[in-house]
Amino acid sequence: MWFAGPARLVPEAGRPEALRLGFHLEPGMRVGLFGGSFNPAHEGHAHVAETALRRLELDRVIWLVSPQNPLKSSHETRPLAERMAGARRWAHGSGMIVSDAETRLGSQYTIDTLRVLRARYPGVKFVWIMGADSLATFHRWRGWTQIMREVPVAVISRPWAALKARTSPAARRFAWARLPASAASILADATAPAWVYLTGPLNYASSTALRKRPAKD
């Protein structure tokens, strides 16, 4: 596991603790990157991660807990440590990793995170994972067309989002790069841009609804 620095290759074990990302990846691994605020994490997130792990035949799914979503208010975002702890409660199994890599890297935007991780872990087959609700607003992300060209993307169905997702600017712009759901198991091997939309049993949990729920005494 190496990162091409400006002067030499630096193994992860040789980095200062603050610069380590807390996970070990080997060349050839198939790894899903599941980014979000997880504010708070819930069973719907677990459903998306577990669906991707299974149907894409991934070795790992890394929950990238963002320091602050640029499209959301910081006043509504709970502390990072609290959101990390919540994600760990739902990320079950050895294939799931919860990481604050974006905070450690000082990365605010997904496109920057992807480029750093690809450089840091050459030979790892990364896939970006998102719920259909995120695809509906994907065109608002900085560098969204570059993200589609950086790594394959898996979109997992979410309640009430199917129509908006499938008719979104991103879905229309990259309609030609969409693979059938039956190709999910080979998505990690595909050359970007390539994406799949996976349907299945829906989970209705929502971070927004959970934030609005009255606090218990």
Q: Residue type at 161? A: A
Q: CA quadruple 165, 171, 50, 84: dihedral positive or negative?
A: negative
pTM value? 0.84
Q: What is the pLDDT of residues 44-64, one digit of tens each?
A: 999 999 999 999 999 999 999
Given this model, what pLDDT does residue 86 score? 96
17 within a domain of the structure (yes/no): no
The mean pLDDT of 172-195, rounded to a whole number, is 98
Number of domains in the chain: 1
DSSP E strands in the chain: the ranges are 2-4, 9-11, 30-36, 60-65, 96-99, 125-131, 153-156, 195-198
23 within a domain of the structure (yes/no): no
209 within a domain of the structure (yes/no): no
18 within a domain of the structure (yes/no): no
Q: By residue range, what is the domain housing residue 57?
A: 30-204
In the predicted structure, residue 216 carries a pLDDT above the cut 50: no
76 within a domain of the structure (yes/no): yes
Identify the CATH number of the domain in which residue 100 sits.
3.40.50.620
Go through 135-150 and write b for each residue having 16 or more CB atoms within 10 A of its CB, e for each that does not. Answer: bbbbeebeebbebbeb
